[in-house]
Amino acid sequence: PEGRRESRVCTVRVPINIALVKYWGKRDQTQNIPLNDSLSLTINSLHARTTLRVNYEIGTDSVKINGKSQTVTGSRYQRVFEEVRRWERKRKAGEVAEHPVSIQFEITSETNFPVSAGLASSAAGFAAIAECLQKIFGFTDSQKSQLARLGSGSAIRSIFGGLVRWRRGTQPNYEDSIAESFPSTHWPSLRALILVVDEGRKEYSSTDGMQRTVETSTLLERRIECCDVNIDKICAAFSNRDFSAMADMIMRDSNNFHAVCMDTSPPLMYLNDVSRTIIRLVHVYNEKNGSTVIAYTFDAGPNATLYLEEDTVQDFLDFATKQLRFAESAQTEVEEILGHKLD
C-alpha cells in the first residue's frame, strides 16, 4: 500500500561490563537513575549478539533470548519500545501529512555466557538493543544512552569499551546521568578470569534487591559517600598501572557492596560457600606473593570475576586447583580485556 515503509534490520555485538565500583540503589526507579557513580571494565569476549527488526505496521512485539521467547507485556523491553514510539510520534507530529506511527519490534539475541546469573547479561542485551535502535532511527548518542539505561541501568556502561564511569548526574531532567570512557585505558596484559560458580537464575533480581537496600539499609548512605573517592583512586591506579593499588580498591568495593547487601532487611545473600572460598584463596595467594597480584569482585550473584595480569593466570589456576580442587565444580574462562568498543 501507498506510504508503507520497508522493514529495517540491524545486528550488533555488544560486550558485558563488570563493575569495579558497583551501582546499587536508585533515586528514580522508572528512569533507572543511580544514587552513586559507578565504574566498570568492559569485557569484550563475553557478548550479546542481537538482531533488531523494525516493521512499520501494527503487530505484537517479540523478544527471543538464546532461543527462548520472553514476556514483553509489562517488561523492560516494552518500556524501551514505548519510549521509541513516543519519540517517533513526537517527531512525526511536526511533519505534515504523515501517517500515525505504527512500529513493531522483533528482537533475537544470543549470548555466549549464562544469562541471569549475575554476569551482566541485561547490560549487554539492552546496550545492544539501544545500539540497533540508534542505527535504525538515527537517534543521538544521548538518546541511545537513555534507551540503554531505561532497559537496565548498567547497560549504559556497555556502550563504551575499557574503563567506564557512569555519572549519577545532577540535572533534574537526568540528561547528565551518562557514561563516559576513561581516556588511555589500554592495559594489554590485564586479564579477567570469570569463575562460574552457579549458572542458575539468581534468587533476587538486582532491581528488587537494590530497592530493598534503599528502603532498609543504614550502611548504604555511607557507601554512597565513598564511591566517588574510590572511583578516583581506581582511575589513578589504572593510569599509573599500579595493579596492587587498583586491586585493593576493587576488592574493598566488592566487600563493601556485599556488606550493604547483608545490611538489607531481609538480607540479600548473593555469595555462597564457593564464593567465600574464592575470596580466601585470593587473599592467601596474594599473601604468598608478598604483594596484591589478583583481585576479586562479585556482583549480585555467587560468580567471581578475578582481575590479574597475564603472567599470573596459569600460576594462580595451578595454585587454586591444587589447593582446593574447586576448579572441578567451577567452570573457568580466561578473557582478555582489550579496551576497545566492538562494532
Choose among 165, 155, 161: nearest CA to 127. 155
Q: Is 11:51 a contact under the CB 8 Å cutoff? A: yes
Binding part of the chain for ligand 2P0, among 3-11, 15-23, 285-293, 307-315 by CB under 6 A, reads: 15-23
Binding part of the chain for ligand 2P0, among 146-154, 177-185, 226-234, 307-315 by CB under 6 A, reads: 146-154
Kindly state the helix (H) or strand (E) to which residue 309 belongs, with its residue range. Answer: strand 304-309
> From the list 50, 154, 217, 254, which residue makes contact with ligand 2P0 (rule: CB under 6 A)?
154
Q: For residues 134 and 152, which CB has a smaller minimum distance to ligand 2P0 in the complex? A: 152
Burial (CB count <10 Å: 0-12, 13-18, 19+), residue 255: middle
Residue 230 binding ligand 2P0, by CB under 6 A:
no
> From the list 62, 104, 207, 289, which residue makes contact with ligand 2P0 (rule: CB under 6 A)?
207
Q: For residues 103 and 147, which CB has a smaller minimum distance to ligand 2P0 in the complex? A: 147
Residue 70 binding ligand 2P0, by CB under 6 A:
no
Of residues 85-144, those binding ligand 2P0 (CB under 6 A): 122
Radius of gyration (C-alpha) of the chain in whole angstroms: 21
Closest CB 249 distance from ligand 2P0, rounded Å: 15
Residue by residue, what is the 3-state secondary structure of 249-280? Answer: HHHHHHHHHHHHHHCCCCCCCCCCHHHHHHHH
Choose among 120, 130, 168, 131: nearest CA to 150. 130
Q: For residues 251 and 320, which CB has a smaller minimum distance to ligand 2P0 in the complex? A: 251
Burial (CB count <10 Å: 0-12, 13-18, 19+), residue 208: exposed
Closest CB 76 distance from ligand 2P0, rounded Å: 7
Q: For residues 165 and 233, which CB has a smaller minimum distance to ligand 2P0 in the complex? A: 165
Q: For residues 103 and 128, which CB has a smaller minimum distance to ligand 2P0 in the complex? A: 128
Residue 299 binding ligand 2P0, by CB under 6 A:
yes
Closest CB 258 distance from ligand 2P0, rounded Å: 10
Prior bond of 114 cis (ω within 30°): no
Closest CB 227 distance from ligand 2P0, rounded Å: 10
The values of phi and psi at residue 333, to 5°, are -135, 135
Burial 59-91 (b: 16+ CB within 10 A, else e): eebebebeeeeeebeeebbeebbebbeebeeee
> From the list 25, 32, 109, 250, which residue makes contact with ligand 2P0 (rule: CB under 6 A)?
32
> From the list 15, 23, 192, 243, which residue makes contact with ligand 2P0 (rule: CB under 6 A)?
23
The DSSP code for 223 is: H
> From the list 146, 185, 206, 292, which residue makes contact with ligand 2P0 (rule: CB under 6 A)?
206
Choose among 192, 297, 190, 187: nearest CA to 250. 297
Interface ranges with ligand 2P0 (CB under 6 A): 19, 22-24, 32, 38, 122, 152-154, 206-207, 299-300
